[in-house]
Amino acid sequence: MISENMRKELKELQKIEGKGKFANLTLDMPFKKAFGSETEKEPLIATLNACLERKLKYPIADVDIKNPYIIGQTKGSRDTELDIRCRDSQGNEFIVEMQIGRQKHFVKRANYYASMVIAASAPKGDDWDFDYPSIYSLNFLNFDLDIWGKSDNIIHHVSFFDEDMPELRFDSVNLVFVRLSRFEKSLEECESFRDKLFFSLRHAHEFDEKPAQLEGDLFDKIFMAAKIASFTSREYEEYRAGLMRKWDYGASMKFAKEEGVAEGWKSGKAEGITIGEAKGVAIGEAKGVLRTARQMKAEGLSFNLISRVTGLSEDEIERL
């Protein structure tokens, strides 16, 4: 349980993040706590079935939660830590990611993560015939990617197919993207489990109590996992770090856009606005990560936690 000092700090955080007693489920720690629990797997199973229904041959009945940390296959390759990784009784592998920060190449990143899971599933020895399990990558995006243009779809499915014979599809790797930032239904408009799930991911932190419309054992478990007062000290520390990163990222993006657009106007060219904004975003993202790391270091948080939140190495954090 969190300490009395943490409770006082929590009241201050709620003034900024939201009035509710529940954590923001788009942040890493509460998302993993609600959907990555080995003892309460029902919310994860229901989420996979609801979001992957179009791609699954059979509904998922049970999953085994697997270690999300994948070690690179060679000395020079990168390690990868996923949000949630699991396998069903048919041997299919699932990746579940929540992303709140804008990333230009997020689709490529999702494909890379799927490739890491494929490589990790390969048995040792020389007789493997590359018959790896089907990979499903479910990605919740709390920002909007430009690649889908004016599409109003909340869910987008990406897979391999023959361009000359579109009906010929290869479902060995399935990438599914949920654009949470485009989900704007009110609670009263939510009828399906999927709609209510998306609403909870976006708005749980705004409530003092679980809304009556979100009835049932699944939502009881999701909101119980998100209840801040029940966090351990370590969980609260991670949640606070996630909030700091979110706020700092938002401020950096606002600054980046203003700086980029200003630079574009100075050039007197329309394309200058676009180029300047992109440059500003890149600068803002880099400055935001460093500022977040410095704030976390000043708060006395562990280097390991700072590294996981910001992506900086512990040596880089030491030099700040």
Mark whether 148 and 167 lie in a shared domain: yes
State which of 230, 247, 277 marks the end of a domain. Answer: 230
- Extended beta strands in the chain, E state: 63-66, 69-70, 80-81, 84-88, 93-99, 135-141, 155-162, 165-179
d(CA 242, CA 213): 28
Mark whether 219 and 118 lie in a shared domain: yes
d(CA 275, CA 287): 18
Mark whether 260 and 310 lie in a shared domain: yes
State which of 206, 230, 254 marks the end of a domain. Answer: 230
Q: What angle do helix axes 233-267 and 270-298 make, rounded to 10 degrees?
A: 150
Predicted confidence (pLDDT) per residue in 219-237, tens digit:
999 999 999 989 998 998 8
pTM value is 0.76
Domain of residue 81 covers 4-230
Mark whether 90 and 211 lie in a shared domain: yes
Mark whether 204 and 287 lie in a shared domain: no
Q: What is the pLDDT of residue 320?
A: 83
Mark whether 221 and 261 lie in a shared domain: no
Mark whether 171 and 65 lie in a shared domain: yes
Mark whether 279 and 209 lie in a shared domain: no
Q: What is the pLDDT of residue 104?
A: 80
Pair of tokens at residue 13: 């955080």
Mark whether 266 and 315 lie in a shared domain: yes
Mark whether 304 and 264 lie in a shared domain: yes
Task: State in Å, rounded, how far the first CA of the chain is from the last one.
Answer: 32
Beta bridge partners of residue 70, listed in sequence order: 80
Mark whether 144 and 198 lie in a shared domain: yes
- The enclosing H or E element of 10 equals helix 4-17
Q: How many domains does the chain have?
A: 2
Mark whether 78 and 98 lie in a shared domain: yes
Predicted confidence (pLDDT) per residue in 64-107, tens digit:
999 999 887 666 667 888 999 999 999 999 999 999 877 788 99
State which of 211, 230, 249 marks the end of a domain. Answer: 230
Task: Report the Cα 80 to chain-centroid distance in Å.
Answer: 14
Which residues contact residue 289 at a Cβ distance below 8 angstroms, ignoring those fewer than 6 apart? 310, 311, 312
- Intervals of the chain under pLDDT 50: 261, 265, 269, 271, 273, 275, 277, 281
Q: What is the pLDDT of residue 281?
A: 47
CB-count burial class (<10 Å; 0-12, 13-18, 19+) for 133: middle
